[in-house]
Amino acid sequence: MEEQEIISKVRKCVATALGRDEDEVQLDSVLSTDLEAESIDYLDITFQLEREFGISIQKDELFPQKIFQDEALVKDGVVTEQGLAYLKEKLPYADLEKFSADPKVTAVPELFTVQLLVSFVQTKVAA
């Protein structure tokens, strides 16, 4: 599948899940802040992507919940070395440089942009 087609379909999925117009969903849009996505929306986005691309997304494969729950990965609101390694493993295409400089767990949702979803889908459909 062509990259443009993937981008267009991912934007459609996110717009559908969040009840927004596609113009509001840009590649650099951050799901949590720009698009005000809430926890239920991440599940909806996962369903929309599965349905649109015919892919199967494992639990925690796209949105790794463990980072918020596991004590070894987060301490006092700061992501640990182990947590950073976990994020690098789960999100190999994410740019973690800026995040690593100040790895607050509350900043994790900001990593999730539409572009990240596009990169994820590209990896999945190529597999």
Partner 1 sequence: MRYVLVDRFLEMEAGERARSVKCVTRGEPFLNDLPFYPPALVLEALLQTGGALSRAGSEAGQMSVLGKVSSASFPAHAYPGDRIDIEVTIALSRPEGTLCEGVATVDGREVGRAEFMIVLLPPEMTPPPDPERDAKRRLLARALGLPHAPKENA
Partner 2 sequence: MSAYVFIDRILECTPGERVVAHKALAFNEEFFRDHFPGMPVVPGAMILEGFVQAARHCLAQRDGGHDRWTLDEVAGMRFNRFAVPGEVLRLEAEVDRTENGAIWFKGKASVDEAGVGRLRFALKEYDPNE
- Annotate 11-56 with DSSP letters as a single string: HHHHHHHHT--GGG--TT-BTTTTS---HHHHHHHHHHHHHHHT--
Which span (36-44, 70-78, 98-106, 114-122) binds partner 1, by CB under 8 A? 36-44
- Out of 19, 56, 71, 89, the residue judged to bind partner 2 by CB under 8 A: 19
Identity of the amino acid at 55: I
Q: Which is nearer to partner 1, 36 or 81 (CB)?
A: 36
- Annotate 53-65 with DSSP letters as a single string: HT----TTTSS-T
Residues 6+ apart with CB under 8 A from 69: none
Q: How far is the CB of 24 from partner 1 (least distance, A)?
A: 17
Show the site string, 24-53: x = touches partner 2 by CB under 8 A, - = not: --------------xxxx------------
- Out of 34, 44, 70, 110, the residue judged to bind partner 1 by CB under 8 A: 44
The dihedral of CA 117, 120, 122, 124: what is its sign? negative
Q: How far is the CB of 47 from partner 1 (least distance, A)?
A: 5
Q: Does residue 53 interact with partner 1 by CB under 8 A?
A: no
Name the residues that contact partner 2, by CB under 8 A: 19, 38-41
